[in-house]
Structure 1
Amino acid sequence: MITPYQQAGYRVRVDWGPQGADAVGAGAALVAVVDVLSFTTALTVAADQGIEVFPYRWRDARAFEFARSHDALLAVGRSEVGPAHPVSLSPATIRSAAGVRRLVLPSPNGSAITQRLAEAGATVVGVSLRNAAAAAAWTVAHLAGADDAVVAVVAAGERWRADDTLRPAVEDLWGAGAFVGALAGHGFGPLSPEAEVAAAAYQRVAGRLPQALQDCASGRELIGYGYPQDVAIAAEVAGSRVVPVLEGVSFRPQRLA
């Protein structure tokens, strides 16, 4: 049954979080997941290095077993990084890692949404500010000839610690808007009103993106915890031409020609 929340009639649709993914992802040919601080930024850094990434909802005992079964390194919490556990969700640790071929990357937001969509049979790509333009170009080429193909964009958002409800995170709106705007630049549309708002939000800050990321709530939080480098990496607009595409249970890098 078509609902108003599906944004039917538009080829590019945007919504928030797991429930939004269910709404706009229904029937979509492709779903772009955006979690700028930090899952999809970490994902694109890994893709740049040719690392196969396995998304996982939680870092628990099952995650250890999942990593072992796929001969992959399990990313730890940021505060747990050390010689024995060199990689976390921090993009900086992935960039500095050596010899990693497969990585399990737990995240309660972007990774959890990705798994939810994959279980529903969706084609999923990881989008950040670093690769939004490349992901849009890849998407248009991938869907060439399918004139009615729908692209859903899911801004992951964060969770309020008090009650685990969704906290819309402006950096994910900007990342979604960068991708949507690039799609529109290729003539891919029409955009839903929600998608138009995302594109407009990105254009508002595009000329001062690094400072805007530092100043937004999530950026301030990461900087306050001692991870300013992760915010700086997230602000590398168009710094990557690699598109992580979910194939089975893992993201594999797809490079533009």
Structure 2
Amino acid sequence: MPSPAAGSPFDQSRYQVRLDWGRAGLERLAPADVVVVVDVVGPSSAVAARIAAGAEVALAELEAERDGGAIAAAAAASGSLVLLGCLRNAGAVADAVLGEQQRRGARTSIAVIAAGEQRTAAAFDGSEGRPAPVDAVELRFAVEDLLGAGAVVDALSRRGLDHTSPEAAAACEAARGLGGAVRHLLTASGSGQELIAAGRRDEILAAAQLDVDAAVPTLRDGVFTVA
């Protein structure tokens, strides 16, 4: 549950739109009214597509899938409204957040959490068959999540929710500046190459599309439904 020390220089509490990485980043930030979890080649894109097709998705289905599910569960436990965001629905997520602020009739704080990827140190050095120490788990920077989180921050800014932390602003400018190269960046990234090697090129290409889904997975009572 997010509970940063009072006055922490890393909680970004002075800003309306905040950004950090992984479960630790969620815990580091000041509690927010809305948490947007961005796991572009994990739950965010996949669940957005299923929700758009009319399905409902239980949170329990995601908690074992990559890292976004665990972050969403922790954010829900804190009492925040939890949304799943990605490149495919960045604009729709911003619309949902703006709608939530209008519903509340008050300034609404937003934490955008880029999931990254938790892997053992052994997996990073290419020796996945060798056991790693229990504490040798590292968060891998994932360019797809940086761009997805930045796209969400950019969409929020374009709707007037632009009091962003430096961390959020940097991700936003990355998404703006590299927007024309997203397809190449995702397919050439570590995550993209891993999916391509597994015969799943279509998944990374689908995840690289910007603003093609109007559905925003919203967590209510342990189930993701349309916002």
Between the aligned partners of 1:146 and 1:156, the Cα distance in structure 2 is 30
Equivalent position of 1:148 in the other structure: 107
Match of 2:173 in 1: 200
Percent of aligned pairs with the same amino acid: 36
The code of the aligned residue for 1:137 comes to: D
Q: CA deviation at 1:189?
A: 2.5
Q: Does 1:31 align with 2:40?
A: no
Instruction: Please name the residue that 2:23 is paired with.
Output: 18
Deviations 1:188-247 (A, max 9, x none): 131100000110111122112111110111111111121101101101211100111100
Q: Which residue of 1 aligns with 2:7?
A: 2
2:137, 2:149 → 1: CA distance?
Answer: 22
* Paired residue type of 2:99: A
Q: 1:121 aligns with which of 65, 79, 85?
A: 79
Looking at structure 1, the residues matched to 218 and 171 of structure 2 have their Cα atoms a distance apart, in angstroms, of: 22
Task: Give the paired residue count.
Answer: 206
Q: TM-score under structure 1 normalisation?
A: 0.77
Q: Distance in 1 between matches of 2:50 and 2:7?
A: 37
Rounded Cα–Cα distance in structure 1 between residues aligned with 2:76 and 2:99? 21
Residue number among 140, 148, 154 corresponding to 1:181 in the alignment: 154
Pair 1:40-2:44 in alignment: yes
Structure 1 segments of 4+ aligned residues over 2 angstroms from their partners:
145-148, 160-164
5 Å matches for 1:97-116?
A: 104-105=61-62, 106-116=64-74
SS in 2 for 1:182: helix
Q: CA deviation at 1:187?
A: 0.9
Unpaired segments ≥5 residues, structure 2:
1-5, 123-135
1:146 Cα shift? 4.0
User: Which structure 1 segments of 5+ residues have no match?
Assistant: 57-103
* Distance in 1 (alpha carbons) for counterparts of 2:158 and 2:150: 12
SS at match of 1:5: coil
- Asked if structure 1 preserves the Cα contact closer than 8 Å seen for 2:67 and 2:116, the reply is yes
